[in-house]
Amino acid sequence: MKLKEMKDWQKNKLLFSVIAILVIAGIFLSFTCTSLYQDKAAEDGYWYDALEVPEDLAHDVDELGADATRVTVGTYIENLKEINLKACNFRVVFLVWFRWEGDPELDMMNNFRVYKGFMNKMEPVKELHDGDLNYQLVRCDVTITKNYWTIRFPLESHQLRIYIESDYMINDVVFVPDIKDSGLNQNLGISGFDVIRTATGSYAIRYENAHGDPEVPKDGVLITSEHVTAMEINRTDTGLYVKCFIALVGTLTWVLITLFICTYHHVDPLAMIPAALFGTVANIMVGANLLPDALQMGLLEFVNLWGVMMILMCAIVIININRIRKKYEDREFSQQYGRILFYIILGLTLAGNFLLPFCAYMLV
């Protein structure tokens, strides 16, 4: 049966169904794919911004730190022990060294802290004072709090940062990054992730609270120098993604089969849909159990919502096929109607399940 041979009510019903499905699916994919891609693209800007002194502090740092001791700081990441998305932290072992000329009493190894970090263990490795040259090397085992971005989970990348902050104010000590010698262990292994880039840089932070220190004037400026080590990691493969959505793939396959059966074999399989829908909704708990309670709306939800949408579309089409058969007693048109919408929904299912992860995953 061709379109021009159809009756008016048949054309209207078919065209309305096709347009409604394409519009709803198009709006959903446009919004979700754009959100995922923008989050992925924003990683570059965030990477470089965190490796430089903020613009609003740059002038104060230059002015107040003009006569400060320049301390060269470098880091070498030996091991990344743990990445815990659920607990919002990561544990890292690294070497940090301080090199400066001048006062040997500065003792930088005992006058620094790791921002948002808990020092599990710290051990001095080497200390040298030779004339004006001073050098201190320390090994640190630190657990650092990290608010992970989970919008693209489980195909996400993460930027891990170690901020070494001086206990001295900016007028006493200014950190200079040792970019040449800083680095990481080439045999560093992170389960499920690959390191895609590393960098070091200078940073600074202004404190608005003097913590009740009587030596600080009320209008005093509290700025400390920081050395930042950044490392970006990316999911190695799609293993976790498959684990999160393998049940959804089975559910979608089953629902598409029911629509196919309804179209070509004149069977009403509508009773099979509720179980499939329940399985899809329950599927999200697999990934949600791996993430913090404050879950960001992202790829995990988008793929599941896409699956729910395809299931509901199949259910509505099955209802319409049954209605056409019973009310109009038109088996030929009901089969044509079901066949066209079956292939449209099949194509949309494949397209959505390709575009969503493609827009989220960082290809390197």
Which residue, among 337, 279, 360, 354, has the nearest Cα to 15 in the 3D structure?
337
pLDDT > 90? residue 92: yes
Give the single-character DSSP code of 3.
Answer: G
* 316 sits in which H/E element: helix 299-323
Provide the whole-model pTM.
Answer: 0.84
Under a CB-based contact definition with an 8 Å cutoff, are residues 113 and 143 in contact?
A: no
Instruction: Quote the pLDDT of residue 348.
Output: 96
Give the model confidence (pLDDT) of 6-19 as tens digits: 788 888 899 999 99
Q: Residue 209 to residues 40, 62, 205: CA-CA distances in angstroms?
A: 35, 21, 12
The residue behind tokens 């993604």 is 241
- The pLDDT confidence band at residue 119, using thresholds 50, 70 and 90, is very high
- SS3 label, residue 200: strand
pLDDT > 70? residue 272: no
Q: Which residue has the higher pLDDT, 70 or 328?
A: 70
C-alpha–C-alpha distance, residues 252 and 116, integer Å: 44
pLDDT > 70? residue 271: no
Give the model confidence (pLDDT) of 302-341 as tens digits: 998 999 899 889 989 998 998 888 888 888 888 899 999 9
pLDDT > 90? residue 78: yes
C-alpha–C-alpha distance, residues 261 and 278, integer Å: 21
Q: Which domains does the chain show, CATH number per domain?
A: 8-40+238-362 (no CATH), 54-235 (2.70.170.10)
pLDDT > 70? residue 113: yes
Q: Which residue has the higher pLDDT, 287 or 165?
A: 165
Count how many residues are written for the chain.
Answer: 364
- The pLDDT confidence band at residue 285, using thresholds 50, 70 and 90, is low
Cβ-based neighbours of 264, under 8 Å, separated by 6 or more: 335, 338, 339
46-55, 94-103, 250-259, 281-290: which has the highest mean pLDDT?
A: 94-103
